[in-house]
Every structure is written in structure tokens, then in C-alpha cells.
Structure 1
């Protein structure tokens, strides 16, 4: 795909983000679109947001667990960039009016204390470079119409990033078995789903190592202080006005989030 089309599609995503509207899947319009094309479109989309004043604060790994893969029909991980405008604090109410077609997922966030760059990064390297882990919610949101996505569509759309909130409960990953730690997700006081760290590429640390190595091949490092969202351990949760979610990770604690307003779709 030539640079003109890459810029065109990245700009189209940025406008859809601003207007809270959806667009036709790229895979319908460009049957030969490659993953490399999709990541270049993502970079253009994110650059537009950075040019408008946002900062890169971390990375996210997407499509790591079987429930999410089955729901989306996407069967390999992807990644996106986290920006400063995506960050909510626990206790904040997330305004659905700023989103298009949101769904929530519960996962584990890694906050780094050291730089980390692949290739050759192992799960143990990730643990050593991590200041703390915390339960979190990512509210994914697709600019692609009706979530009709293939891997190239979600990659171009910054791995369907919306916003995220990290819980105030923190733990040193050396002190907790994040692989076997169970996760319980409640919606409006009722059990919605359960999960375990091993559902994410065998361990959330494996997923973070995968991303460090994938980005390392592109010359992109993890930086100290960055947040890395390691991938969903829950089913995707549709959310509407008044919903409250709580996820609890064994040995670490809980994260809660509330929603108000009405999304665009």
C-alpha cells in the first residue's frame, strides 16, 4: 500500500475518533491489505493524536485470550499505543458519550521501572523490569462499523483502544503468582466471568515479553514509567449508562469502574 493511502486511512480513523462515527472495514475495501500496512495506518492515526497534544504513555496487547479471539474472530495478538487522553483514575466515572461502541475487559497492567527492549526479552526479564502490577479495565472501542474486524482492521484502529483505568491495589510481581492468580469479574454486583493469568499466552508476563520482542524488532523500546496492558482475562462486557464493574485478582486486589452517559452506537 502506498504512503498516500496509508495517510488517507490513518486520517480517516482520526476523523472517526473525533466525530464518534464508524467507518467501513479496511479489509472490505482493500482485500490485499497486510499487517505491515495496518501498522503503518495505526502509526499515522496515533501521530495525528500526538500532533493534537496527546502523549504516548504505554502500550497495550490485544486479542490474547480465547474468549476475546472467539468473539472477534481474530486469532493472533496485536498491539496498540496508549495515550495520555485514555487514562482514567479508579473512582472516576467513565463518560460513554466520548466513545462509539465500547466494551470492557479486565486484565493486569504492568508499570515499568526500567527500560526494556527486545529481541531476546524473557518473561523473567519482564518481571525484573516491572515496578508493580495492578488489576485494570480497558474499555475497548472500535472505529470499525459493527465490530466487523479482521486482524488488519483492529491493528489499523490502534488495536481497538478506547480508555483504561488502573486499580489502586498494587503488587510486586515477584511476590504474586500472576500466572495462577484467579480473576473474578462482577457486573452490577453479579458474577459475570472468571479467568486466570495463564489464559493470556500462558502468563501475562509472556504476553508482555512477546510485545517487547515484537517492538524490539522495529527498534521501539519500552520505557521506564510506561504502562503495559497485558491482555484480557475476561469475556468482553457490553456497558451502558449506570453499569458498575469490579474485577478482583487473587493476591493483588480489586479495580472498579462506573459508567454514565450514552455511547454513539
Structure 2
């Protein structure tokens, strides 16, 4: 298994990296929250955060989980303003975190559970930098599918930085996939709408162009980012491209509905 973009080096010693990855794994098992990494280790860098994520990821793979794709986050102004973080990040997605529309999801399995409206892309062929463009990404995509991301934050939210978020697998918890698939040449993906409702009341709206001007731009960004570390995106991977609404808090008993216009509707319920 390749590094998946994890950067070597950084400020923190290896034993501290391993300790923090272990804390996050325990928080995931116990559905708990740990103190901010940057409050305890203010010298921690973005390189350190990807090392922490990488150690956590490798332990999950060793335990038998299967990687199915990558999550890109903080790609829209709405999300950057909601978090106070101004650059994209990425994490990994495992097979046991994928749900279909209509699913009942156990809210107790997550911490600080919120929902975001996104598009996901499934790659037909590998995609590699260093000069990957939006056109290259669109040519490599098999199809787009609407998706809800379930955020799962194991680090206290108050005062967190991008270092904290990346360490925590970019706050990824799960995704709920819709049923409508569209090739990039079948629809102008920039204008796919998202109307997000909780218990019948509209809470958030947006359009996919809010993600870097085009939702597939993040796929090209990630391919170029991976190339810096000798890696590439593989055929069949699901790329969750980033939210074009602000996150919406959910709790047990909530019914969630997201209307994507020509790309259909996703519904799920939290128990």
C-alpha cells in the first residue's frame, strides 16, 4: 500500500505521531473526542498531520478495512468560512463507511455528527500529476454521483486548525451515495443544485460550482498533490469532491433529504 500522499518529515518525533494516531483510533472506537493536537503540540505542521493520518490509516488497513477512495475537504468558500480554514485537505474512505440512499444510520457511531452536500466521482482510469488539469480529470472520470458526507470529528472543534482536521482523517465519517449516475459530458456539473432538508425544513442550499468553480477541479488538485509524494489516484476509486453547502448538524431521530435536481434525491435517517 502506498503512502496515499502522506508526507514524511515534520516537527514531531515518530513516537508522538504514533501516540496521537493511537489516541484518534481509540476516540473512533469509543465515539469520543480528544483535546486539540495544536493546543498540546503548537509546533505541529501539516506534514505532521498527514503522518498522523497515515499511521492511523495503515493500522485500519492492517485490521482488515479496505480503502475505496479519497475525501477532499474545505474546497468551497462556504466550508472555509464555516471552519476558519483556508486550504483544501484530504482523507481516506473505507468500504464499511459507504451507505446507499434510504439508509438508517446510527448517530451514536459518530462524534460531532454533521451532514454536507457533495458530488462524488468514480474514476475510469488512473489519474496522475504533476500537471493534471480539470480537462484531464473530466477525461478520467467514469461518472459523477450525488453524495452526502457524514462528518465525524474526534478532536474538539473550538479553536481547531487544519493540522487538527487533517490528523483526524479530514473529519470524514461516512458517505451516502445517490442512485443517479451522470457522465461529465451528459450534464454541466457546475450547476447541479443541492437543497438540504432536516425533518422537512430546508436548512442549506447551494450549487456545485461553489467547489473551486467546478466540482471536478478538486480531483485534479488531489492528483497533483499525490504526485508530490510519488503516488496517483487509481481506477475505480471514489473521490468525494467537497461540500457546496455549510455543514448541517444532525442527531438521532432526524430525517435528512437532499434534492440534487436532475441528479435525483438522497434520503437517510439517523437513529
What is the TM-score with the length of structure 1 in the denominator?
0.94
Per-residue CA shift, 1:183-222, capped at 9, x if unaligned? 2222222222211111111111111111111112112211
CA contact (8 A) 1:135 1:247 kept: no
Per-residue CA shift, 1:11-55, capped at 9, x if unaligned? 111111111111011110111111001100000111111111101
Q: Which residue of 2 aligns with 1:118?
A: 129
For residue 86 of structure 2, the aligned residue among 69, 75, 99 is: 75
For residue 191 of structure 1, the aligned residue among 186, 193, 202 is: 202
Q: Which residue of 1 aligns with 2:230?
A: 219
- How many Å apart are 1:181 and its aligned residue? 2.4
For residue 47 of structure 1, the aligned residue among 53, 58, 62 is: 58
Per-residue CA shift, 1:101-141, capped at 9, x if unaligned? 11110100001111111111111111111111111100011
**Pairing 1:192-207 to 2, within 5 Å after superposition:** 192-207=203-218
Q: Which residue of 2 aligns with 1:263?
A: none
In the alignment, the residues of structure 2 paired with residue 251 and residue 126 of structure 1 have an alpha-carbon distance, to the nearest angstrom, of 22
CA RMSD of aligned residues (A): 1.2
Q: Does residue 208 in structure 1 map to residue 219 in structure 2?
A: yes
Q: Which residue of 2 aligns with 1:167?
A: 178
CA contact (8 A) 1:169 1:255 kept: no
In the alignment, the residues of structure 1 paired with residue 199 and residue 65 of structure 2 have an alpha-carbon distance, to the nearest angstrom, of 33
Q: Which residue of 2 aligns with 1:145?
A: 156
Which 10-residue stretch deviates more, 245-254 or 41-50? Answer: 245-254
Q: Which residue of 1 aligns with 2:187?
A: 176
Q: Which runs of 5+ in 1 are unaligned?
A: 261-265
- How many Å apart are 1:156 and its aligned residue? 0.6
For residue 239 of structure 1, the aligned residue among 206, 227, 250 is: 250
Q: Which residue of 2 aligns with 1:20?
A: 31
CA contact (8 A) 2:103 2:267 kept: no
In the alignment, the residues of structure 2 paired with residue 245 and residue 159 of structure 1 have an alpha-carbon distance, to the nearest angstrom, of 22
In the alignment, the residues of structure 1 paired with residue 255 and residue 133 of structure 2 have an alpha-carbon distance, to the nearest angstrom, of 36
Per-residue CA shift, 1:50-95, capped at 9, x if unaligned? 1111011100101112222122111111000111121112221111
CA contact (8 A) 1:139 1:162 kept: yes
Provide the secondary structure at the position in 1 that maps to 2:259. Answer: strand
- How many Å apart are 1:147 and its aligned residue? 5.2
CA contact (8 A) 1:65 1:232 kept: yes
In the alignment, the residues of structure 1 paired with residue 62 and residue 158 of structure 2 have an alpha-carbon distance, to the nearest angstrom, of 27
In the alignment, the residues of structure 1 paired with residue 199 and residue 164 of structure 2 have an alpha-carbon distance, to the nearest angstrom, of 32
In the alignment, the residues of structure 2 paired with residue 227 and residue 118 of structure 1 have an alpha-carbon distance, to the nearest angstrom, of 18
Provide the secondary structure at the position in 2 that maps to 1:173. Answer: coil
Q: Which runs of 5+ in 2 are unaligned?
A: 1-11
